[in-house]
Structure 1
Amino acid sequence: MSSRPGLSTRGPSGLSQSTDANVSPPSTDRGDLKRNFLKSMRPLPTQHYWNVWFDRPDKDQKSAADGNYHSKLEQLGSTIESVQDFWRYNNNMPIDNIKMRESIYLFKAGFKPIWEDRRNILGGSWTFRVPKANGADFWTRVQLLAIGEELQDALEEGDQLCGVGLSVRFNSHLISIWHRDASKQKSVDAILELVLTKAIPDDFPQLKPDSYFYKKHSDHAGFNPSPEMQAVLDSQKAREQQAAAAAAKAQAEAAAQQGSQSQPEPPQIVEVPPSGER
């Protein structure tokens, strides 16, 4: 009688039947397999490439003109191209290690966190002052809104998200969201609505209206563009003034037309013939 063929196994099953005391238990081996499987998975690409920037004040080169500190801006690590890249960076960048007045930014490739940069010159940003106890959670949520394209999708057509940033202050974190065109009011309103509805967890203390504000980059005291960029800014301001004047004129004409239509007609005069006439 022929013998039954042997059952050949691979992986945890074969190892679990071994009597060698040096062999790892099945649970440990399954864990290794899971880790190897996750490593072999294809990365989930982000729609845009992102760079991490670090900014610290340079106290040795204080500006005599405006009293502000110059900054030392440097790019950290390699470009973020996938969801895995983002979590690798985020998990290894605890904001508790960032010192007073230092900043970190997550910006789309091609953008720099500089007000006077050619891609930022016409833009602005929302800034949220968040208690340090809640800063890390809020910062992670805002970053996810950025790389997940939710912030971009909320913007008005023709506008573009530049990036997000975190700056450390004495008892709070300043978390900012930059976009490219400050003249698009729908974008300004949409960013605020999205953050207040999606970046704040249920157990988060309610943000008071005076804890967040919007500001054009050109309205900052330290804003100092090159002559070329100043010309771009002046041209944009001229277009905005022309558009505002045209809108005011159209509104005045509409009001005048509506007023003329609502005026009552003058009473008709009826002549009464003298008595005796027929």
Structure 2
Amino acid sequence: MASTLPPAALQASRAAINAALSDQNRNSDDLEPGEIQEIDMDEQAEGIRTVFSDPKNFNVKHPLCSPWTLWFDSPATKGRNLPQTPVTAFPQTPVPQTPSVAAAQGWMEDIKRVISFDSVEEFWGLYNNIVPPSQLPQKANYYLFKEGIIPAWEDEANKYGGKWSIQLPKDKNRANVDKMWLYTMLAAIGEMFDPTPDNAEGPLSQSLITGVIVSIRPQFYRISIWTRLAPAPTEEDRLRERIETVGRYFKMNVLGYAEGARLAGPLATEVEFLSHKDSEKKGKSAKKIVV
């Protein structure tokens, strides 16, 4: 049966399946040292029903490379003990009390942790039961972050990083923002922004992506991609190259703009990277990377 998923969703699903099969092929407790495991792929495939072949009675999920958590806030959730979110089918869970959360506790009190998931099917179950960005109230935000990372600069995974972002005028992009946000999430959970190089070492040995955010404001939308590291303004190294690759993928493959397209204008920005440290600065002292 042909898949009806968007290309980005299908690519994320296939990547998850390949990663799962690769892990399964490597794991065996019964092998002797030096022995190679033999796998009958035809036998293994018998009886497997995925969501693509049987949308209602599938028995195998497509695992993601990492579990993710969706967070949400809006004016309706601020200062309320009982959160009021646009989620209709999932229970609320308490914010985990870690040192990182404690550091940002005042701000985090208004952000509601919605649900965590670790498969393609669970993602679509979540996505199909929440309000799209185009219908959210002003000053609302969705935060999709890898599980264990809170959407705050103070978190250990974020404090040395930065973010790619684009600001889009609301009146011209109301019909497009839902698709842009969906494709941003799919690229994130499918690890397509920053596939980890095989020969990477140290801090560069893991994906740079920690989370993605969509923010709704009175006159514009903002979509952001957070990274765990940020290059120094004058550095020309592997980190800067990887950061720029994330930005180009975001601009061309996710948002659908041409490589040389200029986007800035009234209420609009280019696709820009800024470290969290520079985000605190005002004026020309903040150094941006633009693609």
Runs of 4+ in 1 over 3 A off after TM superposition: 34-38, 56-60, 154-159
Distance (Å, rounded) in 1 between the aligned partners of 2:125 and 2:223: 21
* Contact persistence 1:53–1:75 (CA under 8 A): yes
Report the count of equivalent residues. Answer: 179
Letter aligned with residue 188 of structure 2: A
Residues 48-127 of structure 1 aligned to structure 2 (within 5 Å): 48-56=66-74, 70=107, 72-77=110-115, 79-93=116-130, 94-127=132-165
Bigger radius of gyration: 1
34-43 vs 141-150, which deviates more?
Answer: 34-43
- How much does 1:97 deviate? 3.7
Q: 1:37 to 1:50 in 2, by over 3 A?
A: closer
Letter aligned with residue 181 of structure 1: L
2:274 match: 215
Q: 1:220 to 1:43 in 2, by over 3 A?
A: same
Matched, 1:195 2:250: yes
* Contact persistence 1:154–1:191 (CA under 8 A): no
More strand by share: 1
Residues 234-273 of structure 1 aligned to structure 2 (within 5 Å): none
* Contact persistence 1:103–1:167 (CA under 8 A): yes
More helix by share: 1
- How much does 1:182 deviate? 0.5
- Give 5+ residue unaligned stretches, structure 2: 1-51, 80-105, 232-238, 282-291
Per-residue CA distance 1:99-124 (angstroms, 9 max, x = gap)? 21111011111111101111110000
Per-residue CA distance 1:12-53 (angstroms, 9 max, x = gap)? xxxxxxxxxxxxxxxxxxxxxx99664233111111100001
Identity of aligned residues (%): 26
TM-score (norm 1): 0.57
Secondary structure in structure 2 of the residue aligned to 1:211:
coil
- How much does 1:55 deviate? 2.5
TM-score (norm 2): 0.54
Paired residue for 1:169, among 196, 203, 217? Answer: 217
Q: RMSD value over aligned CA atoms?
A: 3.0
Distance (Å, rounded) in 2 between the aligned partners of 1:215 and 1:162: 15
Q: 1:41 to 1:99 in 2, by over 3 A?
A: same
2:226 match: 178
- How much does 1:96 deviate? 3.3
Distance (Å, rounded) in 2 between the aligned partners of 1:38 and 1:84: 11
2:20 match: none
